[in-house]
Amino acid sequence: MGFAEELRNRSAEDWDAAVTHPFVDQLLDGSLPDEQLRHYLVQDYQFCDAFTALLGQAVASAPSLPSRLVFARVLGAFASDENTYFQDSFDELGVPERERRSPVLGATTTEFDALMRDALATRAYPNVLAVLLVAEWLYGDWAGRAGEPATWPAESKHAEWIRLHSNPEYNAWVNWLRDEFDAVEPSDAAARERVAATFADAVRLERAFFDAALTRSR
């Protein structure tokens, strides 16, 4: 068993609860109310700065040029495709510019952003990968539940979010991330547990973020 699979199994309760969360169920069947989707997207967009910085740090700290190039390609796609989805959805949902850029942050949003920035501050490749891997792998898992595109919701604000996280390129990226994470598993026991703690915190916060999105709790 690789390091990634080991840590995912350690956090199986939170992982499975996030992947099968009622918020996800409603997103996948197209029944998610606009109010909840709007709240979720506004809060999720606040991670874009830290997430972009994490990808940049991965470029800087990766051990080889081939790995750097993978992160550079993903960084470019994230800055275009995903940002375009957010802006189009905000337009459709009537989100004003001020709310897009500086909303009141939920408690989980604040904690998750802090976790990303803590991992960034370490400048340690395994710590950076731990947060990136959870974010991408867990989203790939829930989006994979959607099945074939013909069965996806009709509205683009639902279907496009699924497509961004369920397509051959995305699946290949997640598989590559898992392999990369396994390859840089720390040999030092203390460093290994720090990475494991970061991974577990990220999984816990993914679940909590869906909770907050569904209940609109602050």
Q: Per-residue confidence of the chain (218 residues) as pLDDT tens digits?
A: 899 999 999 999 999 999 999 999 999 999 999 999 999 999 999 999 999 999 999 999 999 999 999 999 999 988 888 999 999 999 999 999 999 999 999 999 999 999 999 999 999 999 999 999 999 999 999 999 999 999 999 999 999 999 999 999 999 999 999 999 999 999 999 999 999 999 999 999 999 999 999 886 43
Phi-psi region of 150 (alpha: psi -120 to 50; beta: other; left: phi over 0): alpha
Position 216 scores a pLDDT of: 63
Position 35 scores a pLDDT of: 94
Integer Cα distance of 28 and 51 in angstroms: 24
Phi-psi region of 94 (alpha: psi -120 to 50; beta: other; left: phi over 0): left
Dihedral sign, Cα of residue 188, residue 191, residue 192, residue 193? positive
Tally of structural domains, the chain: 1
Q: Which two tokens stand for residue 148?
A: 């074939």
Q: Are 170 and 162 in contact (CB under 8 A)?
A: no
Position 217 scores a pLDDT of: 41
Residue that is written with structure tokens 């189009």 in the block: 88
Tell me which residue range forms the domain holding 47: 3-215
Single-letter amino acid code for the residue at 127: N
The alpha carbon of 140 is separated from its chain's Cα centroid by a whole number of angstroms, namely 9
Q: How many CB atoms neighbour CB 175 within 10 A?
A: 12
Give the CATH number, domain containing residue 63: 1.20.910.10
